[in-house]
Amino acid sequence: MRCNRSGGVHISMSGDAQHSRRRRSLKMFMVASDFKVQDHLEGTIRLQRGHLCQQQEGGAHRSSRGEHIWVKVLDKDCVVKVERQALSEVPADLAGLLEPVPDLELRVKLLSRPQVLQQIASLALGSEVRVIWSRSQSELVEAELRYRGPLTRGSSAVYFGVQLKGWAAGRGKCNGSYKGHQLFSCPEGCGLFLPVSEVMLPQSSSVSVLSRAAESVPQPLAVGQRVCFTQDQSVQRGTVQFCGPLSNRAPAALFVGLLLDHPVGSWDGYYKNTKLCSIPLPEFGALLPLSKVTAECRSERSPLAVTSPKPLPKVPPLPVPSKAAPRLSSVSREPSSTPAKNPLIQPSMLETARRALQPPSSSGPKAALRPPPLTTVKPALLPPTSPQAPPLTPPTDQPRPSNGFHNLLSPPATEQRAEPGPWLEVGSMVEVNDPPLFGVIRWIGQINNIPEAVAGIELDQELSAATDGSYLGEHHFRCPANKGLFVKLRNCRRDSRFPEPELPINQVDRCNSIAFANWSSKRVEEHTPPLSGPDARLMYEGFKKGIQGHLNSCYLDASLFSMFSCCSSFDWLLFWPTGAQNNPISQSAQDLLRCEIVNPLRRYGYVCASKTMALRKLLKAETADSGFTNEEKDPEEFLNQFFLLLRVEPLLKIRTVSQKEQECFIYQLFPPSVSLSSPPVSPVSPTLSPLVSSGLLRVSSVQTLLESSFMHSGLKLTEAPSCLPLLMPRFGKEFKMFDAILPSLSLDITDLLDETLRQCSICQSVAQWECLQCYEDVDITPGQLKQYCNTCNTQVHTHKKRQTHRPVEVRGPRGCWEGPVHGARQLMYLFAVTCIETSHYVSFVKHGPGAMDWLFFDSMADREGEENGFNVPQVLSCPEVGRYLSLSVEEISRLDVSSLRDPVRRLLCDSYMCLYHCPQLSLYK
């Protein structure tokens, strides 16, 4: 068995044979049962039932042990040789449908029903379907099929692009585009890309539902899901806190632990001394079989219905012309002149319909929600100026032109004084009049002689007094004839047939001790030094470890974990004198950093997001930048402001070409430009990367980048820093300066220090000259600092190719020095790397002296709940990082990018900031 990371097996064959094999489609298989194979590179590889495999071009191999074939395991992206009998062949047209399905058992179930898969795959674009819009709720919604195929070029996975309809419109994730590629077009927030397991045929189809939500047996509920159950002939509601089997019971028997809305329970969250979930009081807990609990439907999530509906205000009967009634409603109605003994819409029925948002279960459900016929001209558009307004004018057989203005009944006095809500905009679903007319706002603006804002509404039903969207011959919007209506904007109300959208929760305020009660971390006053080696790994490794992310906080989480989790070189920030009287915010920030973040992180291995939110609020107060609490930021932006908030001295002191000293906290690396004074070199400068052919990666090291940045800018460090944060040269994800950057495990900054003894690059005597042009010279080891004594400087620049070079004198300490220089080199050591991928920051931290002692941290590795859920941080041990960091730039340049897996790929290809320190100097900071 062997594993080919590039995804294929290279076998020598003739061109005709290769062409013949390419024309044949490769067979697809599914793993029939769990088994393991051994790989000399990856070790043991576990293949699970349901994994999809593609036969490779290596062919089958027969031996005494049976037939073996080379296959590519799509779910693991590796090529292995397995026994043929362990695989079940899958039709090629079904394999693409099954590939995006994440649940392996569900794949197996779907494959057992190929006719259902083929029926869904053959649906025409534009077909009505039902989809699961949220996996946590397993709720089916109406949608329209708009796209079917792969999401990225070269992929074989088939996804279904749908446009959500009805109440789910606006709850999608896109406008039909995926990673910048427009696959179909729909309004923003209405598009979803789903696997076949989450797409159902319409209810009229005879095909049963494929998802788990429609299995014949009860399926588990998601934690945080709203449910209801019957108790003592009354309906009780609550939130799922636990769902699963209980010990000593049949595995198929599932139970649900609930946090109830009302104190009608008697369960404390424990079962046989085992804690299943957190229940504050037993009166609010209940443990029930799954069969007795049902998911709460959408109508039950609206405000609670009143127990005794109030009668609606009486409206005087209006005469209705007979010829307009059929166009407004298909429901027959007795003439208004005849008193109705049993009216079609009772006030209580209408109230119940509005409250429950569903038709009542009486004999006329559709009529109860349909607006009654309304064709008469009602009071004037302007509100009445006095209570003695003239009575309504009875309509005639030939109604006068109204130009689309509907004379509506004046709203109550409280509604007249209310300003239009912010939700009123083009596209809002509204109702006007009472009984209501329903429609959608298509236009908002000013009309002559009307001092207020006017809304143009496209009605659901025709109205004789309506137009096609025009007023006095001027078109403001277009709609079918007799459906355009113009009313004052303040007379529009929200469409009562649909629930009011829930107000968005302020995620900044939500991040407090109450909302994060189950995720809180303790305050630690005592100074806690960092752990190292196996102790640090034991402390941090696992879920709910590190710093919890919340609301775009990954830039801060990754930076703080890198600085303090396993290293004490930044501990001087915890004790820097801030001056409590002069800088109260600085003292608060330092106390928060020391006692709420750093000490708890080192003591317990975890810090809650509410602590970092408190720090973000202090940054917001100090900088007046509200983005620090809810927006994406960059680590250097946070660190610069944080150091200023603490009123600390800058880390770096740099002398420029003009001999002026400048101070900064972070240094930005940049690739040098090719000097015009140097001889022509290859199109790709060796300084930028060690390229020798176009087939290799563009790779550089931090050591090379630091030297070239200082050399070409004429910079020198006036003193050796205790910590050195370096930003990598990258300008957005679309244009990265290098395919990979190798974080040097150690940095030699001896030759970057000002006024120090430096060795001649040739004879090791005291250097007195350095030359920028020699740094780029391809004939004398390009990409390395060149400094010479007087003799070597003369000899090197006697060559005719270097006579145009302009060496500059080296600044050294006062006094004379003769002979070789044997001084110790000034080194700094890598202890953390922050990386970015798709706007998300993670970090790698060295936790011990060993080469393999590396941890990977992600503050948002997992999530519990949906929008109002919680991020789950995770720390992983990744010793494989140490193996790659020990490679040279030339070895890295020859790697295949496709062979790099997370987290190594992120470290080499997406590094953002490297943190270096000198442990000896840190003691004096």
Query: How far lies 680's CA from each of 221, 675, 805, in Å?
Result: 68, 9, 14
By the 8 A CB rule, do 5 and 896 touch? yes
- Residue 2 pLDDT exceeds 70: no
Which helix (H) or strand (E) segment holds residue 63: the answer is strand 52-63
Percent of the chain with pLDDT over 90: 25
Tell me which residues are annotated as active site: 554, 840
| Alpha helices by DSSP H, 503-634 | 507-510, 534-540, 554-564, 572-575, 584-591, 599-604, 609-623, 627-630
3-state secondary structure of 750: helix
Task: Out of 140-144, 631-635, 643-647, 820-824, pick the least confident.
Answer: 820-824
Q: Does residue 179 come out as left (phi exceeding 0), alpha (psi in the -120 to 50 range) or beta?
A: left
H/E element holding 270? strand 270-271
Q: If you average pLDDT over each of 230-234, 326-330, 340-344, which comes out highest?
A: 230-234
Over residues 75-80, mean pLDDT: 82
Q: Are 774 and 783 in contact (CB under 8 A)?
A: no
* Least confident among 236-240, 344-348, 493-497, 785-789: 344-348
Backbone angles phi, psi at 192, to 5 degrees: -140, 145
CB distance 802 to 796 below 8 Å: yes
Given a contact cutoff of 8 angstroms between Cβ atoms, the answer to whether 63 and 82 are in contact is no
Question: What span, in angstroms and rounded, lies between the C-alpha atoms of 857 and 556?
Answer: 12
* pTM of the predicted model as reported, rounded to 2 decimal places: 0.49
Q: Above 60 in pLDDT, residue 17?
A: no
Residues of the chain with pLDDT > 70, as a percent, come to 71
* pLDDT bracket for residue 924 (50, 70, 90): low
d(CA 113, CA 316): 61
Whether the bond into 435 is cis, omega within 30 of 0 = yes
What value does the mean pLDDT of the chain take?
75
Residue closest to 693 by CA, chosen among 891, 905, 887, 894:
894
Closest CA to 428 of 501, 371, 328, 378: 501
For residue range 257-288, what is the model confidence (pLDDT) as tens digits? 998 888 888 888 888 878 888 887 788 899 99
Question: From edge to edge, which strands make up the β-sheet containing 787-788?
Answer: 787-788, 769-770, 808-809
With vertex at residue 109, the alpha carbon angle to CA 103 and CA 112, rounded to the nearest 5 degrees, is: 145
Nearest by Cα to 772 from 677, 652, 903, 640: 677
Q: How far is CA 788 from CA 303, 710, 792, 797, in A?
A: 82, 18, 6, 10
CB atoms within 10 A of CB 63: 7
- 271 φ, ψ (degrees, to nearest 5): -140, 110
Quote helix, strand, coil % in the chain, to nearest 5: 25, 25, 50
Closest C-alpha to 80, from 155, 9, 156, 157: 9
Q: Check: CB of residue 463 under 8 Å from CB of residue 433.
A: no
Residue 563 burial (CB count, 10 A): 25
What's the pLDDT score for residue 696? 66
Contact by Cβ (8 Å): 540, 546: yes
- In 617-660 the beta strands, taken as DSSP E runs, fall at 652-655
How far is residue 525's CA from residue 597's CA, in Å, rounded to a whole number?
A: 11
**Token couple for 450:** 């009307």
d(CA 739, CA 75): 26
Tokens of 748: 């030699």
Q: Are 480 and 468 in contact (CB under 8 A)?
A: yes
- List residues bridging with 294 in a β-sheet: 228
Buried-state track 652-672, b at ≥16 Cβ within 10 A, e below 16: bbbbeeeeeeeeebbbebbbb
Q: Which of 723, 721, 683, 729 is nearest to 704 (CA)?
A: 729
Residue 568 neighbours by CB under 8 Å, 6+ apart: 529, 530, 922
End-to-end CA separation in angstroms for the chain: 55
Cis upstream peptide for 903 (omega within 30°): yes
The pLDDT confidence band at residue 61, using thresholds 50, 70 and 90, is low
Reply yes or no on whether the pLDDT at 697 is more than 60: yes
Beta-sheet strand order (sheet of 429-432): 484-488, 454-459, 437-445, 429-432, 493-494
Cα gap 872→344, rounded to integer Å = 54
The label of the residue with tokens 């775009």 reads 552
Contact 356, 348 (CB under 8 A): no
Where does the pLDDT of residue 755 fall: very low under 50, low under 70, confident under 90, or very high at 90 and above? confident
pLDDT, tens digit, for every residue of 789-811?
Answer: 888 888 888 887 787 788 887 77
* Cα 122 to Cα 910: distance, rounded to the nearest angstrom: 41
Q: What is the pLDDT of residue 422?
A: 60
pLDDT tens-digit series, residues 495-509: 888 877 666 677 887
Is 564 in contact with 530 (CB distance < 8 Å)? Answer: yes
Instruction: Give the pLDDT band (50/70/90) at residue 594.
Output: very high
CA distance 543 to 834: 20
Name the more confident of 526 and 659: 526
Distance CA 635, CA 630 (A): 15
Residue 409 pLDDT exceeds 50: no
φ/ψ (deg, to 5) at 434: -150, 110
- Calculate ∠ Cα 15-16-20, nearest 5°: 115
d(CA 298, CA 228): 12
Which residue's entry shows tokens 């973000």? 616
Measured CA distances, 259 to 223, 229, 239, 288 (Å): 11, 12, 5, 12
Cα of 499 vs its chain's centroid, Å: 28
| Chain centroid to CA 310 | 46
759: which strand partners? 766
